[in-house]
Amino acid sequence: MTKTVFLPSKIIPELFVPQLFLFFFCVCVSQALPLEHTKNYIKVSLIISPTEDMSTIYCYSTMPPSRQYSHSTMPLLPVSPYSGPSDFCTENNISECMLYISQELSSLGLPSIFYDLNGIRELDVTSALNGMYDLLQLQRRTMGMVEELEVEQLKVSSDLHCQQLSSSKLKDQLELSKKENIRLRERERQLEINVKSLQSCLKNEKEEVQKLQNIIASRATQYNHDMKRKEREFNKLKERLNQLLADRKDKKQGMDVLNYVGRSDGRRSQWKTVKTDARHESEMYKTLLNEFDKHQKELMLENAELRKVLQQMKREMVGILSPKKHSQKEEKCTEFTDQVSFFDENIHIRKSVFNEESSEMSCEHAREKLTNSIRQQWRKLKHHVENLDNKASMVQLGREVGEEMISKDVHQDEMERLKVEIQQCKDFIQTQQQLLQQQLNTPCDEETAAVLNDCYMLEEKERLKEEWKTFEEQRKNFEMERRSFTEAAIRLGHERKMFEEDRATWLKHQFLNMTFTEHMAIKTQNALSDCK
Residue 83 inside a domain? The answer is yes
State the pLDDT confidence band at 158, using cuts at 50, 70 and 90.
very high
Query: Given this model, what pLDDT does residue 166 score?
Result: 95
> Domain end: 149, 180, 202, which one?
149
Instruction: Provide the pLDDT confidence category of residue 177 given band limits of 50, 70 and 90.
Output: very high
Q: 271 vs 418, which has greater pLDDT?
A: 418
The yes-or-no verdict on residue 267 having pLDDT over 50 is yes
Buried b (16+ CB within 10 A) or exposed e, 343-380: beeebeebeeeeeeeeeeeeeeebbeebeebbeebbee
292 vs 278 pLDDT, higher one = 292
CA–centroid distance for 127 within its chain? 99
> Which range marks the domain in which residue 320 is found?
299-440+460-531
Is 80 exceeded by the pLDDT of residue 157?
A: yes
Find all residues with CB under 8 Å of 126, minimum gap 6, and list them. Answer: none
- Contact status, residue 67 vs residue 40, Cβ threshold 8 Å: yes
For residue 483, what are the CA distances in angstroms to 52, 397, 489? 123, 19, 10
The answer, yes or no, to whether residue 149 has pLDDT greater than 90, is yes
pLDDT value, residue 140: 92
* CA distances, 342 to each of 17, 88, 345, 379, 507 (Å): 163, 152, 5, 13, 21
Count CA within 13 A, CB hemisphere, residue 286.
9
Residue 385: CB atoms within 10 Å: 19
Whole-number pLDDT of residue 159: 95
The amino acid at residue 507 is L
The segment with the largest mean pLDDT, out of 199-213, 381-395, 443-457, is: 199-213
Is residue 202 situated within a structural domain? no
Q: Which residue(s) pair with 359 in the sheet?
A: none
pLDDT at res. 39: 34
Residue 4 forms part of a structural domain:
no
438 pLDDT band (50/70/90 cuts)?
confident
CA distances to 431, 467, 526 from 425, rounded to whole Å, are 10, 10, 92
Q: Is residue 241 part of a domain?
A: no
The rounded distance, in Å, linking the Cα atoms of 303 and 520 is 9
Please state the domain count of the chain: 2
Report the pLDDT value the prediction gives residue 94, as an integer from 0 to 100: 77
Q: Where is the domain boundary, 90, 117, 149? A: 149
Structural element, H or E, at residue 401: helix 363-441
Q: Tell me the per-residue pLDDT of 205-238, one tens digit each, with 9 for 90 and over.
A: 999 899 888 888 888 888 888 888 888 888 888 8
Residue 523 lies in a domain: yes
Span 478-488, average pLDDT: 85
Helices 363-441, 330-357: crossing angle, 10 deg rounding: 170
pTM (two decimals): 0.25
pLDDT band for 354, please (50, 70, 90 cuts).
very low
In 3D space, the residue among 367, 338, 339 whose CA is nearest the CA of residue 353 turns out to be: 367
Q: What is the mean pLDDT of residues 299-308?
A: 79
Res 513 pLDDT > 90: no
Q: Which neighbouring-strand residues pair with 114?
A: 123
Residue, of 265 and 137, whose pLDDT is higher: 137
Nearest Cα to 108, choosing from 38, 59, 61? 38
* 77 falls within a domain: yes
Mean pLDDT of the residues in the chain: 69
Radius of gyration over alpha carbons of the chain, in Å? Answer: 69
Is the separation of the CB atoms in 55 and 11 below 8 Å? Answer: no
Asked if residue 251 belongs to a domain, the reply is: no
Task: Tell me the average pLDDT across 37-60.
Answer: 34
Strand partners, 265: none
| Predicted pLDDT of residue 185 | 94
Name the burial class of residue 177, with classes exposed (0-12), middle (13-18) and buried (19+) by CB atoms within 10 angstroms of its CB. Answer: exposed
Q: State the average pLDDT over residues 253-268.
A: 55
Residue 336, Cβ density class (10 Å: 0-12 exposed, 13-18 middle, ≥19 buried): buried
- Cα 434 from Cα 173, distance rounded (Å): 93
CB atoms within 10 A of CB 24: 20
pLDDT tens digits, 311-326: 676 666 566 555 443 4
Query: What pLDDT was estimated at residue 229?
Result: 87
Query: Domain ends where: 149, 168, 193?
Result: 149
Question: Do the domain assignments include residue 160?
Answer: no
pLDDT tens digits, residue range 192-203? 999 999 999 999
> What percentage of the chain exceeds 90 in pLDDT?
13
pLDDT tens, position by position, 204-213: 999 989 988 8
Candidates 348, 344, 350; CA nearest to 372 is 350
Query: How buried is residue 514: exposed, middle or buried, by Cβ count under 10 Å (0-12/13-18/19+)?
Result: middle
Band of residue 444 on the pLDDT scale cut at 50, 70, 90:
low
Of 63 and 491, the one with more pLDDT: 491
Of 346, 336, 344, residue with least CA distance to 386:
336
What is the band of 477 on the pLDDT scale with cuts at 50, 70, 90?
confident
- pLDDT exceeds 70 at position 109: yes
Residues 57 and 46 sit within 8 Å (Cβ to Cβ): yes
Three-state SS at 321: helix
Q: Quote the DSSP letter at residue 456.
A: H
